[in-house]
């Protein structure tokens, strides 16, 4: 059996190729054979790449569309350190990316729950078009969008390698992460694997002292780095669209201990508005947060906020998960730079929806409140250097990402979408909002739903 670790000292990280027979190696199995094809030349190419990076030799080839690195983070609200002004949260890698990107201050999802939101932005269509408002339906169903062209499929149809991993689509919706329609098959899709806190844990968070290989988001970052290696070494004839869907900070808030150690719970602020807004209709509130925080033993409601110490412990778990994912995204971006791909690759990062950390008594998404619907969104566009480090206050929606990435990559406008390209803001970030409003919705059943993911 083969187990190889290659230290890339110039990157300050270790890229690991586990034994395919080991417990963690099976997770990497889908890319092992492809990696084996170029392992022999990896060291030599790494040396060449270091020289290329030192000289900045990573300009886009003439007449070739830009690559795309598409990163989605589950349940990430716009609560990042320098990017959105929340100094309590440690997000140095996303902050560094934001300093090179156009950051959007008013970006909104179309439904604040995982599967409908992802069916929406992965097709550029609203939930009323996808007919997916729940964890039952998906856009590929008969008489809905079986023939639609998804976001990655659009790039595939225009000559791209399209590879992905993690939670981009919600698992099973559509089936099999929409393989093979969305993804070319040189590198089969790397599916999300759920990991929870140890059995018997009474909280939705856990500080875990375990090898990094035991955390899915680390596995995903290493997988994505492997895809960048493949694009550099073996698949150089076409541009790529690579998607990475990070699982945290979705509950469980399970992260390595050192990320919990970044935070002293007793110093963390609590919700500024912990009870329901005056005059709130009952239908606006949800008790589904009890499922989202895994039946946290404390009771809560619209007028019964959590005690301050409980809020602080919960926030510590969420923030530790955010910081953990921030480091994984940083590793991927460092690899992108190392392989000389930064100047030829658009990088897009967004949350699938927001999350409420005790505001209005909520511990969930599942509402139409601002904190459930608003998301972080930043895009680094090498062809638009004037946009780097700027911010736009224009209203944008996640359904707009699809046509925007197509335009920034230099592809023709996609047809029949509900979304509108916001690429003009990359030429002038002060441009007034193209849209008058963002639209988001949330269904309410007659009886409470026990669990939504």
- The residues assigned a catalytic role are 114, 170
How far apart (Å, rounded) are the C-alpha atoms in residues 366 and 396? Answer: 20
How far apart (Å, rounded) are the C-alpha atoms in residues 263 and 204? Answer: 17
How far is C-alpha 390 from the chain's CA centre? 21
Q: Looking at residue 272, what DSSP letter applies?
A: S
Contact (CB, 8 A) for 355 and 364 = yes
Contact (CB, 8 A) for 405 and 160 = no
Q: Is the peptide bond before 174 cis (omega within 30 degrees of 0)?
A: yes
317: closest CA among 252, 253, 251, 248? Answer: 253
How far is C-alpha 444 from the chain's CA centre? 26
For residue 401, count CB atoms less than 10 angstroms from its CB and return exposed for 0-12, middle for 13-18, buried for 19 or more: buried
- Sort residue 395 into left (φ over 0), alpha (ψ -120 to 50) or beta: beta
Question: Residue 361 in 3-state DSSP?
Answer: helix
377: closest CA among 88, 123, 66, 98? Answer: 98
- Sort residue 268 into left (φ over 0), alpha (ψ -120 to 50) or beta: beta
Contact (CB, 8 A) for 104 and 396 = yes
For residue 286, count CB atoms less than 10 angstroms from its CB and return exposed for 0-12, middle for 13-18, buried for 19 or more: buried
Place of tokens 């919960």: 314
Q: For the sheet containing 390-397, what is the strand order?
A: 190-191, 161-166, 240-246, 67-73, 345-351, 374-380, 102-108, 390-397
């Amino acid at each position: 059996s083969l187990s190889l670790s290659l230290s890339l000292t110039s990157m300050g990280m270790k890229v690991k190729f586990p034994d395919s027979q080991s417990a963690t190696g099976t997770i990497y199995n889908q890319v092992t054979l492809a990696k084996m094809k170029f392992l022999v030349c990896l060291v030599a190419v790494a040396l060449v790449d270091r020289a290329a990076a030192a000289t900045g030799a990573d300009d886009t080839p003439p007449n070739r569309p830009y690559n795309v690195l598409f990163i989605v983070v589950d349940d990430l609200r716009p609560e990042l350190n320098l990017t959105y002004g929340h100094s309590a949260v440690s997000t140095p890698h996303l902050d560094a990316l934001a300093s090179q990107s156009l950051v959007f201050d008013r970006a909104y999802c179309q439904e604040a729950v995982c599967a409908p939101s992802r069916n929406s932005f992965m097709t550029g269509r609203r939930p009323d078009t996808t007919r997916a408002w729940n964890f039952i339906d998906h856009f590929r169903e008969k008489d809905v969008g079986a023939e639609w062209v998804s976001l990655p499929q659009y790039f595939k149809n225009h000559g791209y390698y399209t590879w992905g991993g993690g939670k981009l689509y919600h698992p099973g919706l559509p089936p099999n992460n929409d393989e093979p329609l969305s993804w070319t098959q040189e590198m089969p899709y790397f599916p999300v694997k759920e990991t929870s806190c140890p059995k018997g844990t009474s909280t939705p968070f856990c500080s875990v002292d375990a090898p990094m290989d035991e955390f899915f988001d680390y596995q995903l970052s290493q997988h994505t780095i492997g895809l960048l290696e493949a694009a550099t070494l073996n698949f150089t004839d076409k541009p790529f669209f690579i998607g990475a869907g990070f699982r945290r900070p979705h509950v469980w808030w399970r992260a390595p201990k050192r990320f919990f150690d970044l935070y002293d719970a007793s110093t963390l602020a609590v919700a500024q508005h912990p009870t329901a807004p005056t005059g709130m209709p009952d239908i606006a509130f949800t008790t589904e947060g009890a499922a989202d925080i895994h039946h946290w033993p404390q009771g809560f409601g619209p007028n019964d906020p959590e005690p301050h110490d409980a809020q602080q412990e919960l926030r510590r778990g969420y923030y530790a998960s955010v910081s953990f994912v921030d480091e994984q995204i940083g590793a991927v971006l460092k690899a992108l730079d190392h392989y000389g791909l930064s100047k030829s690759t658009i990088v897009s990062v967004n949350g699938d929806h927001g999350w409420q950390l005790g505001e209005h008594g909520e511990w969930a998404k599942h509402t139409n409140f601002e904190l459930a619907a608003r998301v972080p969104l930043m895009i680094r566009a090498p062809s638009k250097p004037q946009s780097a480090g700027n911010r736009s206050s224009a209203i944008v929606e996640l359904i707009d990402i699809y046509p925007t990435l197509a335009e920034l990559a230099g592809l023709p406008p996609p047809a029949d979408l509900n979304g509108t390209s916001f690429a003009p803001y990359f030429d002038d970030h002060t441009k007034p909002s193209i849209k008058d409003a963002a639209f988001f919705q949330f269904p309410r059943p007659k009886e409470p739903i026990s669990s939504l993911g």
